[in-house]
Amino acid sequence: MVKIGDIELPEFPLLLAPMEDVSDPPFRALCKENGADVVYTEFISSEGLIRDAVKSTMKLDIYEKERPVGIQIFGANLDSMLRSVEIVEKSNPDIIDINFGCPVKKVVSKGAGAGILKDLDLMESLTREMVKRTHLPITVKTRLGWDENSIKIVEAAERLQDVGCKAISIHGRTRAQMYKGEADWTEIEKVKNNQRMHIPVFANGDINTPERAMLIRDHYGLDGAMIGRASIGNPWFFNQVKHFFKTGEHLPPVSIKERVTAAKKHLEMSIAWKGERLGVFETRRHYTNYFKGIQDFKPFRQKLVTSDDSVDVFATLEEIYEKFNTYEFA
């Protein structure tokens, strides 16, 4: 069993990574239904929260069926981060996660996200004060370092643990790599093998097959896997991994019927959450992924991503089922 604070999780839990414009409540719900053990919100700007920016505050929406759920915030200003903790607590999440890993320029340029990897003292002090400010467990998601010449993740993890961080998720790339090259899990293994570490250490980055998840567990000895891009268009990934762990075999490819059902449910939940116009618009980005790899799909994709009326979208999804229900995925 793995614990984040007092939260008990199964052995080798699978976590849904916080992903901008992806891990919203509808997508998190689908992943939860399909085996995710912990889900995280999109990352939320501490500055946006204290300004009461609509885009930031809407990301605080969480639902009982998601639990345990973590709200992730980012920032580099201590006062703003502490004030945002108080705002986040009102949404009653199970976990507050600090983003010390986002590599995007607009975040890094403010010293936030992966930008803080240049200043481990600030990383430590921010975490310490946030731990003091809340009764909720604080976790951290970060990267190996700023670049290959400044990988100090073993030291960083130890310092974060010492000031009260309850778990750490590490993306196996530096900020300089962005999402290029291969994730280096050996550096994450060094964190886990540090004799002083006793909090869970989760791996993130390139865990895109059940075999790779098993490698993380059995070869690298890590406590769990945080799944990001592999879940986009494939919320079934979590159960695929668990089935493989249990049986050593792969589940059959996800059928067209399952994909259409998931797309419909996703759209219904999005409309219930954000209303017709935004619900339809914000679900568009997922359709390409749900139906990835289907030959002769372009006309249907075009209709899905240009229709403004949910009635039309649901009708198109029905058409997709009728035309492709016997389609066999490799």
Tell me which H or E stretch contains 287: helix 276-290
218 three-class SS: helix
- Any idea which residues carry the catalytic annotation? 102
Count of alpha carbons within 13 angstroms of residue 277, beta-carbon side: 0
Cβ atoms of 231 and 238 closer than 8 Å: yes
Cβ atoms of 49 and 58 closer than 8 Å: no
Exposed/middle/buried for residue 54 (C-beta within 10 Å: 0-12, 13-18, 19+)? exposed
Sign of CA dihedral 174, 233, 74, 167: negative
Angle between helices 120-133 and 153-162 (to 10 degrees): 30
Sign of CA dihedral 160, 161, 165, 167: positive
Q: Give the CA angle between residues 8, 11, 14 to the nearest 5°.
A: 90
